[in-house]
Amino acid sequence: MFTMKPIGFVSSPYKETLEFPKGPGAKHDALGVLEIKPEFEVGLTDIEGSHLFIIWVFDRANGFDLIGIPPTDNREHGAFATLSPRRTNPIGLTVVQLLSREAPLLHVQGLDSLDGTPILDIKPYLSGVPTDQLRCGWMHAARNELHRDQKTYSQNRRALI
Protein backbone atom coordinates (compact mmCIF):
# COMPACT_ATOMS: atom_id res chain seq x y z
CA MET A 1 0.00 0.00 0.00
CA PHE A 2 1.16 3.52 -0.64
CA THR A 3 -0.14 6.85 0.49
CA MET A 4 -0.17 10.05 -1.51
CA LYS A 5 -0.77 13.53 -0.23
CA PRO A 6 -2.11 16.43 -2.26
CA ILE A 7 0.24 19.23 -3.25
CA GLY A 8 -2.76 21.50 -3.78
CA PHE A 9 -6.34 21.72 -4.96
CA VAL A 10 -8.22 22.70 -8.11
CA SER A 11 -10.38 25.82 -8.18
CA SER A 12 -12.77 25.02 -11.01
CA PRO A 13 -16.09 26.30 -12.35
CA TYR A 14 -17.39 22.71 -12.23
CA LYS A 15 -19.19 21.82 -9.00
CA GLU A 16 -20.95 18.68 -10.32
CA THR A 17 -19.87 16.07 -12.87
CA LEU A 18 -23.02 16.76 -14.91
CA GLU A 19 -21.59 20.20 -15.75
CA PHE A 20 -18.63 18.82 -17.76
CA PRO A 21 -18.75 19.03 -21.54
CA LYS A 22 -19.15 15.43 -22.74
CA GLY A 23 -19.61 13.57 -25.96
CA PRO A 24 -18.12 13.84 -29.42
CA GLY A 25 -16.49 17.18 -30.08
CA ALA A 26 -16.69 18.31 -26.43
CA LYS A 27 -14.38 21.26 -25.77
CA HIS A 28 -12.46 21.41 -22.50
CA ASP A 29 -11.50 25.05 -22.27
CA ALA A 30 -12.62 25.96 -18.74
CA LEU A 31 -10.56 28.49 -16.85
CA GLY A 32 -9.45 27.76 -13.31
CA VAL A 33 -6.69 27.95 -10.76
CA LEU A 34 -4.37 25.33 -9.36
CA GLU A 35 -3.85 26.36 -5.74
CA ILE A 36 -0.57 24.85 -4.60
CA LYS A 37 0.06 24.50 -0.87
CA PRO A 38 2.66 26.98 0.44
CA GLU A 39 5.07 24.21 1.49
CA PHE A 40 5.29 23.08 -2.14
CA GLU A 41 5.55 26.51 -3.79
CA VAL A 42 9.32 26.28 -4.27
CA GLY A 43 8.62 23.27 -6.51
CA LEU A 44 7.00 25.66 -8.99
CA THR A 45 10.35 27.31 -9.74
CA ASP A 46 10.76 27.57 -13.55
CA ILE A 47 7.29 26.12 -14.24
CA GLU A 48 6.54 28.83 -16.82
CA GLY A 49 6.03 26.61 -19.89
CA SER A 50 3.01 26.69 -22.15
CA HIS A 51 1.30 23.48 -21.03
CA LEU A 52 1.33 21.20 -18.00
CA PHE A 53 0.28 17.67 -17.12
CA ILE A 54 -1.86 17.71 -13.98
CA ILE A 55 -2.18 14.43 -12.07
CA TRP A 56 -5.13 14.42 -9.72
CA VAL A 57 -7.56 12.20 -7.82
CA PHE A 58 -11.15 11.36 -8.73
CA ASP A 59 -11.90 11.91 -5.05
CA ARG A 60 -15.69 11.67 -5.51
CA ALA A 61 -15.80 8.55 -7.67
CA ASN A 62 -17.33 5.48 -6.07
CA GLY A 63 -16.14 2.06 -7.15
CA PHE A 64 -14.91 1.05 -10.58
CA ASP A 65 -16.09 -0.62 -13.77
CA LEU A 66 -13.74 -2.49 -16.07
CA ILE A 67 -16.13 -2.10 -19.03
CA GLY A 68 -18.35 0.84 -19.87
CA ILE A 69 -19.92 2.91 -22.63
CA PRO A 70 -18.29 6.35 -22.84
CA PRO A 71 -20.24 9.42 -23.95
CA THR A 72 -18.15 9.57 -27.14
CA ASP A 73 -19.31 6.19 -28.49
CA ASN A 74 -22.21 3.75 -28.31
CA ARG A 75 -20.10 0.64 -27.79
CA GLU A 76 -18.50 -0.83 -24.68
CA HIS A 77 -14.79 -0.26 -24.09
CA GLY A 78 -12.39 -1.26 -21.34
CA ALA A 79 -11.82 1.25 -18.54
CA PHE A 80 -8.15 1.53 -19.48
CA ALA A 81 -9.14 2.54 -23.02
CA THR A 82 -11.36 5.39 -21.80
CA LEU A 83 -11.24 8.50 -19.64
CA SER A 84 -13.81 7.15 -17.18
CA PRO A 85 -13.55 8.32 -13.55
CA ARG A 86 -14.67 4.87 -12.38
CA ARG A 87 -11.18 3.35 -12.30
CA THR A 88 -9.44 0.79 -10.09
CA ASN A 89 -7.07 3.55 -9.00
CA PRO A 90 -9.01 6.83 -9.28
CA ILE A 91 -6.23 8.91 -10.84
CA GLY A 92 -6.91 11.62 -13.40
CA LEU A 93 -4.54 13.17 -15.93
CA THR A 94 -5.21 16.46 -17.69
CA VAL A 95 -3.18 18.69 -19.98
CA VAL A 96 -3.81 22.36 -19.28
CA GLN A 97 -2.45 25.56 -20.74
CA LEU A 98 -0.61 27.68 -18.20
CA LEU A 99 -1.87 31.25 -18.58
CA SER A 100 -0.03 32.86 -15.67
CA ARG A 101 1.46 32.29 -12.24
CA GLU A 102 0.94 34.33 -9.09
CA ALA A 103 3.12 32.82 -6.34
CA PRO A 104 1.47 29.46 -5.51
CA LEU A 105 -1.48 30.04 -7.88
CA LEU A 106 -1.36 28.71 -11.42
CA HIS A 107 -4.03 30.19 -13.70
CA VAL A 108 -4.84 27.59 -16.34
CA GLN A 109 -7.21 26.79 -19.20
CA GLY A 110 -8.47 23.34 -20.10
CA LEU A 111 -9.60 22.03 -16.73
CA ASP A 112 -11.78 18.95 -16.58
CA SER A 113 -11.88 18.33 -12.83
CA LEU A 114 -14.27 19.33 -10.10
CA ASP A 115 -13.78 22.28 -7.77
CA GLY A 116 -11.73 21.15 -4.75
CA THR A 117 -10.14 18.17 -6.52
CA PRO A 118 -6.83 17.16 -4.89
CA ILE A 119 -3.74 17.61 -7.10
CA LEU A 120 -1.10 14.88 -6.74
CA ASP A 121 1.57 16.20 -9.10
CA ILE A 122 2.38 18.60 -11.92
CA LYS A 123 4.75 17.85 -14.78
CA PRO A 124 5.83 19.88 -17.80
CA TYR A 125 4.07 18.84 -20.98
CA LEU A 126 6.51 17.13 -23.29
CA SER A 127 5.69 14.78 -26.11
CA GLY A 128 8.23 13.10 -28.32
CA VAL A 129 5.50 11.46 -30.42
CA PRO A 130 5.26 13.06 -33.87
CA THR A 131 1.63 14.01 -34.57
CA ASP A 132 1.57 11.95 -37.78
CA GLN A 133 2.37 8.83 -35.69
CA LEU A 134 -0.06 9.51 -32.85
CA ARG A 135 -3.00 7.08 -32.72
CA CYS A 136 -5.96 7.18 -30.35
CA GLY A 137 -7.37 3.69 -30.98
CA TRP A 138 -11.18 3.52 -30.96
CA MET A 139 -11.34 7.26 -30.13
CA HIS A 140 -9.79 8.02 -33.53
CA ALA A 141 -12.54 6.04 -35.28
CA ALA A 142 -15.25 7.71 -33.15
CA ARG A 143 -13.90 11.17 -34.03
CA ASN A 144 -13.75 10.29 -37.73
CA GLU A 145 -17.35 9.07 -37.54
CA LEU A 146 -18.40 12.33 -35.88
CA HIS A 147 -16.66 14.40 -38.57
CA ARG A 148 -18.22 12.25 -41.30
CA ASP A 149 -21.71 12.70 -39.74
CA GLN A 150 -21.17 16.47 -39.41
CA LYS A 151 -20.02 16.71 -43.03
CA THR A 152 -23.06 14.70 -44.22
CA TYR A 153 -25.38 16.91 -42.13
CA SER A 154 -23.84 20.07 -43.62
CA GLN A 155 -24.11 18.72 -47.16
CA ASN A 156 -27.75 17.66 -46.63
CA ARG A 157 -28.59 21.02 -45.09
CA ARG A 158 -27.03 22.89 -48.04
CA ALA A 159 -29.04 20.72 -50.46
CA LEU A 160 -32.26 21.77 -48.69
CA ILE A 161 -31.46 25.48 -48.88
What was the pLDDT predicted at 50? 87
Contacts of 116 (CB under 8 A, 6+ apart): 9, 10, 12, 59
Query: pLDDT per residue over 135-161, tens digit each?
Result: 666 666 666 676 566 555 555 555 555
Question: Same domain for 40 and 72?
Answer: yes
What was the pLDDT predicted at 150? 56
pTM to 2 decimal places: 0.76
Query: pLDDT per residue over 94-141, tens digit each?
Result: 999 999 999 999 999 999 899 999 999 999 988 776 777 766 666 666
Question: Same domain for 122 and 154?
Answer: no
Question: Same domain for 114 and 102?
Answer: yes
Residue 2 lies in a domain: no
pLDDT at 17 over 90: no
Residue 3 lies in a domain: no
Q: What domain range is 148 assigned to?
A: 130-161
User: Could you write out the three-class secondary structure of 62-109?
Assistant: CCCCCEECCCCCCCCEEHHHCCCCCCCCCEEEEEEEEEEEECCEEEEE
113: number of Cβ within 10 Å: 26
Supply the CATH number for residue 75's domain.
Answer: 2.40.30.70
Number of domains comprising the chain: 2
